Amino acid sequence: MWISKKLRPSPPTADADLGVTTIAGGQAGVLTRGEVRSLPIYGPGGYCWMPQNGAEVLVIKGGPGGQEQCVAGMRQAEAEEPMEPGEVLIRGGGASIYLKADGSLVLKGRVSVEGPLFINGEPYKPCTCGEEGTV
C-alpha cells in the first residue's frame, strides 16, 4: 500500500566512495562496489593527473540514486602530449610543470628563482667568463 511506502525510510546512499582504478587514463575505470568504466577525471584548476592502475581514488556521486555527476573542481583539460600513468602536469596560464615517470622535470615558461639555487648539491655561481677584468 502507499502508506507502507511512505513509512519505510529510503535506503542510505553514499555521496563518495573510495575506489581502485582498473583502467588508467583520461577515462578511468574504477572498482568500488562494482566496476564502473569511462569515468571523467576532475581535479583542481590547471592540475592534470592520470591515475595509475591500482591507485586509490575518490569517486563522487550525486543525485537521489548517486547516478548524477557532481563538479568537485574544474574538469581537466587534455594534456598537450600523451602522458604516462602516474605522471603529473600542473598548468597555469602559459607556464607548466611536468613531472615525468622517468624522473625528469619539464618546466615551461619564465622561471624566477627566489632563494638559494643548488645544482647537484652545490650552490649555483653564475659564470663571469669574458667579463672585463676576469680571466
Parse the chain into domains and list their residue ranges: 2-123
Residue range 98-120, pLDDT digits in tens: 999 999 999 999 999 999 999 99
Asked if 61 contacts 15 with a C-beta cutoff of 8 angstroms, the reply is yes
Contacts of 110 (CB under 8 A, 6+ apart): 95
- pTM, full prediction: 0.59
Q: Which residue has the higher pLDDT, 98 or 70?
A: 98
Asked if 43 contacts 73 with a C-beta cutoff of 8 angstroms, the reply is yes
The amino acid at residue 29 is G
Percent of the chain with pLDDT over 90: 26
Confidence band (pLDDT; 50, 70, 90) for 63? low
Closest by CA to 36, choosing from 21, 16, 50, is 21
- State residue 90's pLDDT score: 87
Res 92 pLDDT > 60: yes
Res 71 pLDDT > 70: no
| Mean pLDDT of all residues in 1-7 | 60
- State residue 108's pLDDT score: 95
Question: For the chain, how many helices (H) and strands (E)?
Answer: 1, 12
Bridging pattern class, strands 16-23 and 42-43: unpaired
Confidence band (pLDDT; 50, 70, 90) for 61? confident
- State residue 131's pLDDT score: 72
Query: CA geometry: angle at 91 spanning 97 and 116, to 5°?
Result: 40
